[in-house]
């Protein structure tokens, strides 16, 4: 029992700690357990309701998360293969750990009898045809989030953009009100057209989000991603981004997990696939069953043959 517990702790540790030793001795394990406890001390200090909501999004015992993103319409409108949100979401809902969406789609397109936790997008204000996507504000009151029984609220920050100040201050305000109700906050480190996706920039954006009190940070995978993870004191999930080939998306997921991300918030690379259910199940196998990309690809093709 103790060995299994220690191994689970070991698998949940950041990449930089796991790679410290090849032969894992009892002494090494105890050292890593202490590091694990230290890295999770902030969780222990949280109120019960906040801990409970977070535990529904980031699943134990491995601290892993598969979030399905379907909030794209808040600035993109009717995105390809998400035109009928209810039809897109229904077959995928049982395979994700949580669903990220807007309140409009939640009320109109998701069955209220689901047990899947909801992560509510609460920021917006600009569209894809507008002048600046970074001009966002908080658009949802926390009372409506509670009324909808969501497990977290999400908003974007735009570090380095014209509206950097506005979005970061809004994150601080959202955290302030969320703390009163034990509601986790997911900060999305949005990247503008002229901003890079290197470790230096993403480390800055993620750390700033955590410093403002975000409980989870969503960002992009990049080269030297371990640096981003190790400089951020809260869990990181990666964005799936634009549609890429299925095998590439599996490799993205695997590499991110190996580098220390707790999971993914993937949308288009799942529901824009020609085989969305096999795709989400393949991604799920990487996150929760420790499959590598090759094993996930094999599972994906096997599931296609079975359908």
If you search the block for the tokens 């009717």, which residue do you land on? 78
CA dist 49 and 179 (Å) reads: 10
CA dist 158 and 303 (Å) reads 39
Catalytic residue check, 218: yes
Bridge partners of 185?
153
Sheet strands (E) in the chain: 65-69, 98-101, 118-121, 123-124, 137-138, 152-157, 185-189, 216-219, 236-239, 263-266
Instruction: Exactly one of 44, 62, 143, 218 is catalytic; name it.
Output: 218
Q: How far apart are CA 261 and CA 75, in angstroms?
A: 26
Note if the bond before 61 is cis, omega within 30 degrees.
yes
Q: Cβ(68)–Cβ(98) under 8 Å?
A: yes
Work out the number of other CB atoms within 10 angstroms of the CB of residue 128. 10
Q: What is the CA radius of gyration of the chain?
A: 19
Whether 101 contacts 151, CB under 8 Å: no
Q: Which residues are catalytic?
A: 218
């Amino acid at each position: 029992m103790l060995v299994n517990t220690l191994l689970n702790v070991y698998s949940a540790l950041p990449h930089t700690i796991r790679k410290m030793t090849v032969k894992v001795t009892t002494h090494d394990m105890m050292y890593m357990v202490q590091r694990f406890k230290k890295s999770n001390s902030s969780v222990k200090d949280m109120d019960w309701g906040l801990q409970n909501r977070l535990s529904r999004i980031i699943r134990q015992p491995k601290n892993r998360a598969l979030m399905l993103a379907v909030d794209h319409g808040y600035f993109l409108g009717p995105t390809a293969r998400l035109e009928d949100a209810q039809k897109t979401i229904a077959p995928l809902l049982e395979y994700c750990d949580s669903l990220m969406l807007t309140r409009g789609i939640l009320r109109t397109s998701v069955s209220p009898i689901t047990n899947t936790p909801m992560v509510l997008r609460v920021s917006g204000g600009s569209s894809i045809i507008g002048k600046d996507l970074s001009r966002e504000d908080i658009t949802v009151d926390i009372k409506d989030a509670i009324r909808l029984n969501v497990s977290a609220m999400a908003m974007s920050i735009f570090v380095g953009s014209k509206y950097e100040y506005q979005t970061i201050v809004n994150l601080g305000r959202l955290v302030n009100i969320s703390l009163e109700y034990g509601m986790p906050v997911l900060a999305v480190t949005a990247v503008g057209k002229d901003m890079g996706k290197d470790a230096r920039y993403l480390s800055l954006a993620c750390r700033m989000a955590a410093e403002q009190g975000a409980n989870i940070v969503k960002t992009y995978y990049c080269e030297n991603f371990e640096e981003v993870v190790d400089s951020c004191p809260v869990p990181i999930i990666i964005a799936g981004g634009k549609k890429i080939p299925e095998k590439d998306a599996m490799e993205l997921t695997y590499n991110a997990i190996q580098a220390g991300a707790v999971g993914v918030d993937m949308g288009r690379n799942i529901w824009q696939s020609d085989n969305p259910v096999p795709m989400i199940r393949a991604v799920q196998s990487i996150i929760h069953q420790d499959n590598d990309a090759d094993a996930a690809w094999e599972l994906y093709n096997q599931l296609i043959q079975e359908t």
